Amino acid sequence: MHTDRVDRVRQGDLRAGSRLMRDLDDRIPKAIEELKSLYAHTGRGYIVGVTGNPGSGKSTVVDALIALYREQGLRVGVVAVDPTSPFSGGAILGDRIRMQRHALDPGVFIRSLATRGHLGGLSRSTFDVVSVLDALGFDRILVETVGVGQDEIDVMRAAHTSIVITVPGLGDDIQALKAGILEIADVLVVNKADREGVDRAVRDLTHMLQLRGHDERAQIEIVRTIAARGLGEGSGVRALAAAIDAHRERWDGGEEGRRRARDRAAAHVGDIVRDRLAERAARRMREQGGLDAVADKVAAREQDPYTAAEDILRDL
Amino acid sequence: MTETQTENKERSIRILVAKPGLDGHDRGAKVVARALADAGYEVVYTGLHQTPEMVAATALQEDVDAIGLSIMSGAHLTLFPAVMEALKAQSAEDIVVFGGGIIPDDDLPKLQTIGVDKIFKPGASTTEIVEWVEGSLRPKVEARRG
Protein backbone atom coordinates (compact mmCIF):
# COMPACT_ATOMS: atom_id res chain seq x y z
CA MET A 1 0.00 0.00 0.00
CA HIS A 2 1.48 3.32 -1.02
CA THR A 3 0.70 5.99 1.55
CA ASP A 4 1.91 9.41 2.51
CA ARG A 5 3.70 7.79 5.44
CA VAL A 6 5.63 5.50 3.11
CA ASP A 7 6.92 8.57 1.25
CA ARG A 8 7.83 10.32 4.46
CA VAL A 9 9.79 7.33 5.73
CA ARG A 10 11.69 7.13 2.45
CA GLN A 11 12.54 10.82 2.81
CA GLY A 12 13.98 10.08 6.26
CA ASP A 13 11.16 11.52 8.40
CA LEU A 14 12.02 10.08 11.82
CA ARG A 15 8.64 10.75 13.42
CA ALA A 16 6.85 8.93 10.61
CA GLY A 17 9.33 6.08 10.92
CA SER A 18 8.89 5.92 14.68
CA ARG A 19 5.10 5.72 14.32
CA LEU A 20 5.37 3.02 11.69
CA MET A 21 7.61 0.95 14.00
CA ARG A 22 4.99 1.15 16.71
CA ASP A 23 2.17 0.15 14.40
CA LEU A 24 4.21 -2.78 13.12
CA ASP A 25 4.95 -3.86 16.68
CA ASP A 26 1.21 -3.69 17.40
CA ARG A 27 0.53 -5.67 14.19
CA ILE A 28 -1.73 -3.02 12.68
CA PRO A 29 -2.74 -4.29 9.21
CA LYS A 30 -2.23 -0.93 7.49
CA ALA A 31 1.35 -0.75 8.77
CA ILE A 32 2.10 -4.21 7.41
CA GLU A 33 0.77 -3.09 4.02
CA GLU A 34 3.05 -0.06 4.20
CA LEU A 35 6.06 -2.19 5.02
CA LYS A 36 5.31 -4.29 1.96
CA SER A 37 5.77 -1.28 -0.28
CA LEU A 38 8.83 -0.05 1.67
CA TYR A 39 10.63 -3.36 1.48
CA ALA A 40 12.04 -2.83 -2.01
CA HIS A 41 13.79 0.26 -0.66
CA THR A 42 15.64 -1.57 2.09
CA GLY A 43 18.83 -3.61 2.06
CA ARG A 44 21.37 -0.80 2.22
CA GLY A 45 21.98 -0.63 5.98
CA TYR A 46 24.68 -2.82 7.52
CA ILE A 47 23.29 -4.80 10.46
CA VAL A 48 25.48 -5.66 13.42
CA GLY A 49 24.03 -8.00 16.07
CA VAL A 50 25.27 -7.63 19.63
CA THR A 51 24.63 -10.21 22.31
CA GLY A 52 26.36 -11.78 25.29
CA ASN A 53 26.23 -12.69 28.94
CA PRO A 54 23.98 -10.60 31.19
CA GLY A 55 26.05 -7.80 32.69
CA SER A 56 28.76 -8.08 30.05
CA GLY A 57 28.28 -4.46 29.03
CA LYS A 58 26.42 -4.87 25.75
CA SER A 59 24.81 -1.42 25.92
CA THR A 60 28.12 0.22 26.78
CA VAL A 61 29.77 -1.45 23.79
CA VAL A 62 26.90 -0.28 21.58
CA ASP A 63 27.27 3.25 22.98
CA ALA A 64 30.97 3.28 22.10
CA LEU A 65 30.31 1.90 18.60
CA ILE A 66 27.72 4.64 18.03
CA ALA A 67 30.35 7.24 18.93
CA LEU A 68 32.85 5.68 16.55
CA TYR A 69 30.48 5.39 13.61
CA ARG A 70 29.37 8.99 14.16
CA GLU A 71 32.98 10.04 14.06
CA GLN A 72 33.13 8.37 10.62
CA GLY A 73 30.07 10.37 9.56
CA LEU A 74 27.78 7.34 9.42
CA ARG A 75 24.17 7.50 10.59
CA VAL A 76 23.40 4.90 13.24
CA GLY A 77 20.14 3.17 14.14
CA VAL A 78 19.90 1.03 17.27
CA VAL A 79 17.33 -1.57 18.25
CA ALA A 80 17.65 -2.58 21.91
CA VAL A 81 15.59 -5.60 22.91
CA ASP A 82 14.54 -6.34 26.49
CA PRO A 83 12.35 -9.18 27.75
CA THR A 84 8.62 -8.86 28.25
CA SER A 85 7.46 -10.29 31.57
CA PRO A 86 5.54 -13.49 30.85
CA PHE A 87 3.36 -12.69 33.85
CA SER A 88 2.34 -9.07 33.32
CA GLY A 89 3.02 -8.59 29.60
CA GLY A 90 4.86 -5.41 30.56
CA ALA A 91 8.53 -4.57 30.29
CA ILE A 92 11.14 -2.16 31.55
CA LEU A 93 13.25 -1.02 28.64
CA GLY A 94 16.42 0.44 30.11
CA ASP A 95 19.18 -0.28 27.61
CA ARG A 96 19.25 3.26 26.34
CA ILE A 97 20.34 4.62 29.74
CA ARG A 98 23.91 3.92 28.63
CA MET A 99 23.38 5.60 25.27
CA GLN A 100 21.55 8.78 26.29
CA ARG A 101 24.50 11.01 25.43
CA HIS A 102 23.48 10.42 21.80
CA ALA A 103 19.82 11.32 22.41
CA LEU A 104 20.08 14.74 20.75
CA ASP A 105 22.19 13.63 17.80
CA PRO A 106 19.92 13.63 14.73
CA GLY A 107 22.23 11.04 13.15
CA VAL A 108 21.37 8.52 15.88
CA PHE A 109 18.02 6.82 16.39
CA ILE A 110 17.59 4.45 19.33
CA ARG A 111 14.51 2.28 19.65
CA SER A 112 13.73 -0.03 22.58
CA LEU A 113 11.67 -3.13 21.91
CA ALA A 114 10.07 -5.65 24.21
CA THR A 115 10.14 -9.32 23.21
CA ARG A 116 6.35 -9.64 23.60
CA GLY A 117 6.33 -13.38 23.99
CA HIS A 118 8.38 -14.18 20.92
CA LEU A 119 10.31 -17.39 21.45
CA GLY A 120 13.70 -16.10 20.34
CA GLY A 121 15.62 -13.42 22.16
CA LEU A 122 14.72 -11.01 19.42
CA SER A 123 11.37 -9.36 19.46
CA ARG A 124 9.10 -10.67 16.76
CA SER A 125 9.13 -7.12 15.47
CA THR A 126 12.89 -6.74 15.31
CA PHE A 127 13.13 -7.60 11.63
CA ASP A 128 10.44 -5.02 10.90
CA VAL A 129 12.03 -2.26 12.95
CA VAL A 130 15.37 -2.96 11.28
CA SER A 131 13.65 -2.65 7.90
CA VAL A 132 12.20 0.74 8.83
CA LEU A 133 15.59 2.01 10.08
CA ASP A 134 17.05 0.78 6.82
CA ALA A 135 14.39 2.60 4.77
CA LEU A 136 15.02 5.76 6.86
CA GLY A 137 18.58 5.67 5.53
CA PHE A 138 20.63 4.59 8.54
CA ASP A 139 24.03 3.27 7.45
CA ARG A 140 24.71 1.07 10.45
CA ILE A 141 22.01 -0.72 12.41
CA LEU A 142 23.03 -2.16 15.77
CA VAL A 143 20.71 -4.80 17.24
CA GLU A 144 21.28 -5.49 20.94
CA THR A 145 19.49 -8.49 22.35
CA VAL A 146 18.61 -10.07 25.65
CA GLY A 147 21.73 -11.73 26.95
CA VAL A 148 20.64 -15.31 27.33
CA GLY A 149 21.56 -18.63 25.73
CA GLN A 150 20.31 -20.58 22.83
CA ASP A 151 17.66 -18.20 21.54
CA GLU A 152 20.31 -15.75 20.46
CA ILE A 153 20.69 -17.72 17.27
CA ASP A 154 18.11 -15.20 16.10
CA VAL A 155 20.73 -12.47 16.25
CA MET A 156 22.79 -14.12 13.60
CA ARG A 157 19.80 -14.53 11.35
CA ALA A 158 19.10 -10.82 11.46
CA ALA A 159 22.66 -9.52 11.31
CA HIS A 160 25.40 -9.18 8.73
CA THR A 161 27.98 -9.45 11.50
CA SER A 162 27.29 -10.85 14.97
CA ILE A 163 29.38 -9.94 17.95
CA VAL A 164 29.21 -11.92 21.17
CA ILE A 165 30.41 -10.27 24.37
CA THR A 166 31.68 -11.91 27.51
CA VAL A 167 33.64 -10.75 30.54
CA PRO A 168 36.55 -12.09 32.59
CA GLY A 169 35.91 -13.98 35.78
CA LEU A 170 32.95 -16.06 34.72
CA GLY A 171 35.04 -19.18 35.27
CA ASP A 172 33.22 -22.23 34.04
CA ASP A 173 30.25 -20.07 33.19
CA ILE A 174 32.03 -19.15 30.02
CA GLN A 175 31.12 -22.69 29.00
CA ALA A 176 27.53 -21.51 28.90
CA LEU A 177 28.50 -19.61 25.77
CA LYS A 178 29.45 -22.85 24.14
CA ALA A 179 25.90 -24.06 23.91
CA GLY A 180 24.96 -22.32 20.73
CA ILE A 181 26.17 -18.79 21.22
CA LEU A 182 29.75 -19.38 20.18
CA GLU A 183 28.53 -20.79 16.89
CA ILE A 184 26.86 -17.52 15.96
CA ALA A 185 29.81 -15.25 16.75
CA ASP A 186 31.67 -13.57 13.91
CA VAL A 187 33.64 -11.48 16.40
CA LEU A 188 34.15 -12.34 20.07
CA VAL A 189 34.62 -9.57 22.61
CA VAL A 190 36.04 -9.85 26.10
CA ASN A 191 34.79 -6.63 27.68
CA LYS A 192 35.89 -5.16 31.03
CA ALA A 193 39.37 -6.30 30.02
CA ASP A 194 40.94 -4.37 32.89
CA ARG A 195 39.58 -7.02 35.22
CA GLU A 196 41.49 -9.93 36.59
CA GLY A 197 41.22 -13.10 34.58
CA VAL A 198 41.13 -11.52 31.15
CA ASP A 199 43.96 -13.69 29.81
CA ARG A 200 42.22 -16.80 31.00
CA ALA A 201 38.94 -15.73 29.40
CA VAL A 202 40.71 -15.17 26.06
CA ARG A 203 42.49 -18.51 26.42
CA ASP A 204 39.23 -20.34 27.16
CA LEU A 205 37.55 -18.76 24.15
CA THR A 206 40.50 -19.58 21.91
CA HIS A 207 40.38 -23.16 23.10
CA MET A 208 36.67 -23.41 22.45
CA LEU A 209 37.16 -22.03 18.95
CA GLN A 210 39.90 -24.58 18.28
CA LEU A 211 37.60 -27.39 19.34
CA ARG A 212 35.34 -26.36 16.55
CA GLY A 213 37.97 -27.21 13.99
CA HIS A 214 39.24 -25.48 10.89
CA ASP A 215 36.17 -24.20 9.12
CA GLU A 216 35.56 -20.59 8.16
CA ARG A 217 35.03 -20.02 11.83
CA ALA A 218 38.75 -20.27 12.42
CA GLN A 219 38.92 -16.63 11.39
CA ILE A 220 36.91 -15.39 14.34
CA GLU A 221 38.77 -12.60 16.06
CA ILE A 222 38.81 -12.20 19.83
CA VAL A 223 38.93 -8.52 20.79
CA ARG A 224 39.59 -7.13 24.28
CA THR A 225 37.65 -4.00 25.16
CA ILE A 226 37.09 -1.66 28.06
CA ALA A 227 34.00 -0.10 26.52
CA ALA A 228 33.33 2.15 29.51
CA ARG A 229 36.30 4.21 28.27
CA GLY A 230 34.35 4.99 25.10
CA LEU A 231 36.83 5.82 22.35
CA GLY A 232 39.49 6.76 24.89
CA GLU A 233 42.97 5.34 25.37
CA GLY A 234 42.97 1.57 25.61
CA SER A 235 39.22 1.08 25.15
CA GLY A 236 39.77 -1.34 22.28
CA VAL A 237 36.60 -0.18 20.56
CA ARG A 238 38.49 0.88 17.44
CA ALA A 239 39.95 -2.61 17.21
CA LEU A 240 36.45 -4.03 17.58
CA ALA A 241 35.14 -1.84 14.74
CA ALA A 242 38.12 -2.93 12.62
CA ALA A 243 37.26 -6.58 13.33
CA ILE A 244 33.66 -5.96 12.27
CA ASP A 245 34.89 -4.31 9.05
CA ALA A 246 37.31 -7.18 8.41
CA HIS A 247 34.47 -9.67 8.77
CA ARG A 248 32.38 -7.64 6.42
CA GLU A 249 35.12 -7.46 3.80
CA ARG A 250 35.69 -11.20 3.97
CA TRP A 251 32.28 -12.02 2.65
CA ASP A 252 30.81 -8.84 1.20
CA GLY A 253 29.72 -9.40 -2.38
CA GLY A 254 30.78 -13.06 -2.30
CA GLU A 255 29.01 -16.40 -1.98
CA GLU A 256 29.02 -16.17 1.84
CA GLY A 257 27.30 -12.81 1.63
CA ARG A 258 24.60 -14.18 -0.64
CA ARG A 259 24.11 -17.17 1.66
CA ARG A 260 23.62 -14.90 4.66
CA ALA A 261 21.15 -12.72 2.78
CA ARG A 262 19.17 -15.83 1.86
CA ASP A 263 19.27 -17.11 5.45
CA ARG A 264 18.06 -13.77 6.72
CA ALA A 265 15.20 -13.67 4.22
CA ALA A 266 14.23 -17.26 5.01
CA ALA A 267 14.24 -16.53 8.74
CA HIS A 268 12.06 -13.47 8.24
CA VAL A 269 9.50 -15.32 6.11
CA GLY A 270 9.55 -18.30 8.49
CA ASP A 271 8.88 -16.02 11.45
CA ILE A 272 5.89 -14.46 9.75
CA VAL A 273 4.45 -17.85 8.79
CA ARG A 274 4.81 -19.19 12.34
CA ASP A 275 3.34 -16.00 13.74
CA ARG A 276 0.30 -16.16 11.47
CA LEU A 277 -0.27 -19.86 12.13
CA ALA A 278 -0.07 -19.33 15.87
CA GLU A 279 -2.55 -16.48 15.53
CA ARG A 280 -5.00 -18.66 13.58
CA ALA A 281 -4.64 -21.47 16.09
CA ALA A 282 -5.34 -19.06 18.93
CA ARG A 283 -8.46 -17.81 17.15
CA ARG A 284 -9.65 -21.37 16.52
CA MET A 285 -9.16 -22.22 20.19
CA ARG A 286 -11.21 -19.20 21.24
CA GLU A 287 -13.99 -20.19 18.84
CA GLN A 288 -14.04 -23.63 20.37
CA GLY A 289 -14.46 -22.24 23.84
CA GLY A 290 -10.82 -21.75 24.70
CA LEU A 291 -8.16 -24.12 25.84
CA ASP A 292 -9.87 -24.65 29.19
CA ALA A 293 -12.71 -26.68 27.68
CA VAL A 294 -10.22 -29.02 26.00
CA ALA A 295 -7.94 -29.09 29.02
CA ASP A 296 -10.72 -30.44 31.24
CA LYS A 297 -11.29 -33.35 28.88
CA VAL A 298 -7.60 -34.13 28.56
CA ALA A 299 -6.99 -33.82 32.31
CA ALA A 300 -9.90 -36.24 32.91
CA ARG A 301 -8.30 -38.62 30.36
CA GLU A 302 -11.42 -38.46 28.21
CA GLN A 303 -9.24 -37.33 25.34
CA ASP A 304 -5.50 -37.52 24.68
CA PRO A 305 -3.54 -34.29 24.08
CA TYR A 306 -2.54 -35.17 20.51
CA THR A 307 -6.13 -35.72 19.38
CA ALA A 308 -7.14 -32.48 21.11
CA ALA A 309 -4.36 -30.57 19.32
CA GLU A 310 -5.19 -32.16 15.97
CA ASP A 311 -8.84 -31.12 16.36
CA ILE A 312 -7.74 -27.54 16.87
CA LEU A 313 -5.32 -27.58 13.94
CA ARG A 314 -7.61 -29.35 11.45
CA ASP A 315 -7.72 -27.51 8.07
CA LEU A 316 -5.88 -24.55 9.49
CA MET B 1 -5.52 -6.98 3.41
CA THR B 2 -3.57 -8.93 5.93
CA GLU B 3 -5.08 -10.74 8.83
CA THR B 4 -6.07 -8.47 11.61
CA GLN B 5 -4.63 -8.69 15.04
CA THR B 6 -6.82 -11.07 16.94
CA GLU B 7 -4.80 -12.06 19.94
CA ASN B 8 -5.20 -8.77 21.73
CA LYS B 9 -7.60 -6.09 20.61
CA GLU B 10 -6.02 -3.55 22.90
CA ARG B 11 -3.28 -1.26 21.73
CA SER B 12 -0.02 -1.57 23.60
CA ILE B 13 0.76 1.35 25.87
CA ARG B 14 4.30 2.74 26.01
CA ILE B 15 5.36 5.19 28.69
CA LEU B 16 8.62 7.08 29.11
CA VAL B 17 9.70 7.56 32.73
CA ALA B 18 12.32 10.27 32.92
CA LYS B 19 14.16 12.30 35.50
CA PRO B 20 14.91 15.75 34.17
CA GLY B 21 17.16 18.18 35.97
CA LEU B 22 19.84 17.81 38.55
CA ASP B 23 18.42 15.93 41.50
CA GLY B 24 19.73 12.42 41.94
CA HIS B 25 16.78 10.84 43.68
CA ASP B 26 15.55 8.19 41.31
CA ARG B 27 13.98 5.69 43.67
CA GLY B 28 10.48 7.06 43.11
CA ALA B 29 10.94 6.98 39.34
CA LYS B 30 12.14 3.38 39.50
CA VAL B 31 9.22 2.31 41.70
CA VAL B 32 6.77 3.89 39.27
CA ALA B 33 8.55 2.32 36.27
CA ARG B 34 8.37 -1.10 37.91
CA ALA B 35 4.70 -0.68 38.86
CA LEU B 36 3.77 0.33 35.31
CA ALA B 37 5.66 -2.65 33.86
CA ASP B 38 3.96 -4.95 36.38
CA ALA B 39 0.63 -3.56 35.21
CA GLY B 40 1.45 -4.68 31.67
CA TYR B 41 2.83 -1.52 30.02
CA GLU B 42 6.11 -1.08 28.19
CA VAL B 43 8.19 1.41 30.12
CA VAL B 44 11.22 3.16 28.68
CA TYR B 45 13.49 4.31 31.47
CA THR B 46 16.27 6.81 30.74
CA GLY B 47 17.97 7.37 34.05
CA LEU B 48 19.05 10.60 35.72
CA HIS B 49 19.89 14.10 34.56
CA GLN B 50 17.91 14.32 31.34
CA THR B 51 17.51 17.71 29.71
CA PRO B 52 14.01 18.63 28.49
CA GLU B 53 15.30 18.31 24.91
CA MET B 54 16.60 14.79 25.61
CA VAL B 55 13.22 13.84 27.09
CA ALA B 56 11.41 15.08 23.98
CA ALA B 57 13.85 13.44 21.55
CA THR B 58 13.63 10.14 23.43
CA ALA B 59 9.83 10.29 23.47
CA LEU B 60 9.79 10.69 19.69
CA GLN B 61 12.29 7.91 19.00
CA GLU B 62 10.42 5.54 21.29
CA ASP B 63 6.98 6.69 20.10
CA VAL B 64 5.60 6.69 23.64
CA ASP B 65 2.03 7.64 24.52
CA ALA B 66 2.94 9.40 27.73
CA ILE B 67 5.87 10.86 29.61
CA GLY B 68 6.09 10.59 33.38
CA LEU B 69 8.48 13.08 34.96
CA SER B 70 9.79 12.69 38.47
CA ILE B 71 11.04 15.96 39.94
CA MET B 72 12.32 16.22 43.49
CA SER B 73 14.48 19.29 43.11
CA GLY B 74 11.78 21.94 43.40
CA ALA B 75 12.46 22.99 39.81
CA HIS B 76 9.10 21.69 38.54
CA LEU B 77 7.91 25.15 37.49
CA THR B 78 10.93 25.37 35.20
CA LEU B 79 11.24 21.79 34.03
CA PHE B 80 7.60 20.97 33.18
CA PRO B 81 7.21 24.06 30.95
CA ALA B 82 10.58 23.32 29.33
CA VAL B 83 9.52 19.76 28.49
CA MET B 84 6.17 20.99 27.15
CA GLU B 85 8.02 23.52 24.97
CA ALA B 86 10.47 20.91 23.72
CA LEU B 87 7.55 18.66 22.74
CA LYS B 88 5.80 21.55 21.00
CA ALA B 89 8.99 22.31 19.06
CA GLN B 90 8.77 18.75 17.69
CA SER B 91 5.01 18.99 16.99
CA ALA B 92 4.51 16.32 19.63
CA GLU B 93 2.00 18.03 21.93
CA ASP B 94 -0.19 14.95 21.61
CA ILE B 95 2.08 13.03 23.98
CA VAL B 96 0.47 13.10 27.43
CA VAL B 97 2.67 14.48 30.22
CA PHE B 98 2.22 13.52 33.85
CA GLY B 99 4.44 13.69 36.86
CA GLY B 100 5.18 13.34 40.48
CA GLY B 101 7.63 14.39 43.11
CA ILE B 102 7.69 17.12 45.65
CA ILE B 103 5.20 19.57 44.21
CA PRO B 104 3.17 21.94 46.40
CA ASP B 105 -0.61 22.10 45.87
CA ASP B 106 -0.33 25.81 45.06
CA ASP B 107 1.63 25.01 41.92
CA LEU B 108 -0.85 22.50 40.51
CA PRO B 109 -3.07 25.05 38.67
CA LYS B 110 0.00 26.50 36.95
CA LEU B 111 1.06 23.09 35.72
CA GLN B 112 -2.47 22.33 34.58
CA THR B 113 -2.58 25.57 32.58
CA ILE B 114 0.47 24.60 30.54
CA GLY B 115 -1.07 21.23 29.72
CA VAL B 116 0.36 18.82 32.29
CA ASP B 117 -2.31 16.12 32.45
CA LYS B 118 -1.88 14.79 35.97
CA ILE B 119 0.33 15.25 39.02
CA PHE B 120 0.62 12.49 41.58
CA LYS B 121 1.36 13.70 45.08
CA PRO B 122 3.94 12.16 47.37
CA GLY B 123 2.33 9.09 48.88
CA ALA B 124 0.19 8.35 45.83
CA SER B 125 -0.13 4.60 45.48
CA THR B 126 1.05 2.84 42.37
CA THR B 127 -2.51 1.49 42.06
CA GLU B 128 -3.70 5.07 41.70
CA ILE B 129 -1.24 5.63 38.86
CA VAL B 130 -2.32 2.47 37.04
CA GLU B 131 -5.97 3.45 37.44
CA TRP B 132 -5.18 6.80 35.83
CA VAL B 133 -3.48 5.02 32.90
CA GLU B 134 -6.51 2.80 32.31
CA GLY B 135 -9.18 5.42 32.97
CA SER B 136 -7.63 8.49 31.39
CA LEU B 137 -4.61 7.64 29.24
CA ARG B 138 -5.86 4.52 27.45
CA PRO B 139 -8.99 6.17 25.97
CA LYS B 140 -6.79 8.99 24.63
CA VAL B 141 -4.33 6.51 23.10
CA GLU B 142 -7.09 4.54 21.45
CA ALA B 143 -8.76 7.68 20.10
CA ARG B 144 -5.48 8.92 18.66
CA ARG B 145 -4.17 5.70 17.19
CA GLY B 146 -7.35 3.97 16.14
Q: State whether the Cα torsion A41-A46-A52-A55 is positive or negative.
A: negative
With an 8 Å Cβ cutoff, are B92 and A15 in contact? Answer: yes
Q: Which CATH superfamily is domain B14-136 in?
A: Cobalamin-binding domain (3.40.50.280)
CA distances to A81, A222, A225, B70 from A164, in Å: 15, 10, 12, 36
A8 Cβ contact list (under 8 Å, min separation 6)? A16, A17
Question: How near does any CA of chain B get to the CA of A118, in Å?
Answer: 13
Contacts of B11 in chain A (CB under 8 A): 26
With an 8 Å Cβ cutoff, are B45 and A29 in contact? Answer: no
**Euclidean distance between CA atoms A30 and A24, whole angstroms:** 9
Q: Which of B2, B6, B88, B126 to mutate to test the interface with A (most CBs of A within 10 A)?
A: B2
Question: How near does any CA of chain A get to the CA of B58, in Å?
Answer: 6
Give pTM, 2 decimals: 0.91
3-state SS assignment for residue A63? helix
**Euclidean distance between CA atoms B14 and B33, whole angstroms:** 11
Q: Which of B15, B38, B48, B62 to mutate to test the interface with A (most CBs of A within 10 A)?
A: B62
3-state SS assignment for residue B71? strand
CB atoms within 10 A of CB B136: 14
Tell me: pLDDT of A171 over 80: no
Q: What is the pLDDT of residues A243-257, one digit of tens each?
A: 999 999 988 778 888
Residue A110 in contact with residue B61, Cβ under 8 Å?
yes
Tell me: pLDDT of B93 over 60: yes
With an 8 Å Cβ cutoff, are B42 and A114 in contact? Answer: yes
Dihedral-angle region of residue A31 (phi above 0 means left; psi in -120 to 50 means alpha; beta otherwise): alpha
ipTM passes above 0.85 = yes
Q: Which pLDDT does position A14 carry in this prediction? A: 95
> Which of A316, A314, A271, A311 has its CA nearest to residue A291?
A311
Q: What is the pLDDT of residues A123-145, one digit of tens each?
A: 568 889 999 999 999 999 999 98
Residue A78 in contact with residue A144, Cβ under 8 Å?
yes
Higher pLDDT, A210 or B132: B132
Type of residue at A216: E
With an 8 Å Cβ cutoff, are B39 and A92 in contact? Answer: no
Section B101-119 average pLDDT: 95
Tell me: pLDDT of B116 over 60: yes
By a Cβ cutoff of 8 Å, what residues of chain B touch chain A? 1-7, 11-12, 14, 33-34, 36-47, 50-51, 53-54, 57-58, 60-63, 90-92, 145
Q: Which pLDDT does position A146 carry in this prediction? A: 76
Alpha-carbon Rg for chain A, nearest whole angstrom, is: 21
Q: ∠A241-A264-A32 over CA atoms, to 5°?
A: 110
Sheet containing B66-71: which strands, arranged edge to edge? A91-93, B42-45, B14-18, B66-71, B96-101, B118-120
Contacts of B92 in chain A (CB under 8 A): 15
Q: What is the pLDDT of residues A246-289, one digit of tens each?
A: 999 988 778 888 888 888 888 888 888 888 888 888 888 888 77
B127 Cβ contact list (under 8 Å, min separation 6)? none
- Which phi and psi angles does A70 have, rounded to 5°? -65, -40
Q: ∠A235-A237-A240 over CA atoms, to 5°?
A: 135
With an 8 Å Cβ cutoff, are B44 and A85 in contact? Answer: no
CB-closest option in A23, A84, A97 to B47: A97
With an 8 Å Cβ cutoff, are A27 and B57 in contact? Answer: no
Of all residues in chain B, the one with the smallest CA distance to A96 is: B46
Burial (0-12, 13-18, 19+ Cβ within 10 Å), B9: exposed
Q: Which of A100, A136, A285 to mutate to test the interface with B (most CBs of B within 10 A)?
A: A100
Q: What is the pLDDT of residues B136-146, one digit of tens each?
A: 999 999 998 87
Question: How near does any CA of chain B get to the CA of A72, in Å?
Answer: 22
Q: A–B: how many Cβ contacts below 8 A?
A: 101
Q: Which pLDDT does position B8 carry in this prediction? A: 45
Residue A313 pLDDT class (50, 70, 90 cuts): confident
**Euclidean distance between CA atoms A163 and A48, whole angstroms:** 7
Tell me: pLDDT of A154 over 70: no
Pairing of strands A221-224, B14-18: unpaired
Residue B6 pLDDT class (50, 70, 90 cuts): very low
The helix (H) or strand (E) run that includes residue A306 is helix A305-313
Q: Which of B38, B44, B144 to mutate to test the interface with A (most CBs of A within 10 A)?
A: B44
3-state SS assignment for residue A238? helix
Q: Which pLDDT does position A156 carry in this prediction? A: 66
Residues 257-296 of A with CB under 8 A from B: 276, 279-280, 282-283
Section A88-104 average pLDDT: 93
Q: Which pLDDT does position A13 carry in this prediction? A: 96
Contacts of A29 in chain B (CB under 8 A): 1-5
Q: What is the pLDDT of residues B13-59, one digit of tens each?
A: 999 999 998 888 888 899 999 999 999 999 999 988 999 999 999 99
**Euclidean distance between CA atoms A218 and A224, whole angstroms:** 18
Question: How near does any CA of chain B get to the CA of A168, in Å?
Answer: 27
Tell me: pLDDT of A97 over 50: yes
Domain boundaries, chain B: 14-136
Q: How many CA atoms lie within 13 A of B99 on its CB side?
A: 27
Q: What is the pLDDT of residues A33-84, one digit of tens each?
A: 999 999 999 999 999 999 888 889 999 999 999 999 999 999 999 999 988 8
Torsion on CA atoms A146, A152, A154, A157, rounded to nearest 10 = 120
Type of residue at A66: I
> Which of A85, A45, A100, A25 has its CA nearest to residue B59?
A100
Contacts of B51 in chain A (CB under 8 A): 104
Mean pLDDT over all residues of chain A?
87
With an 8 Å Cβ cutoff, are A96 and B43 in contact? Answer: no
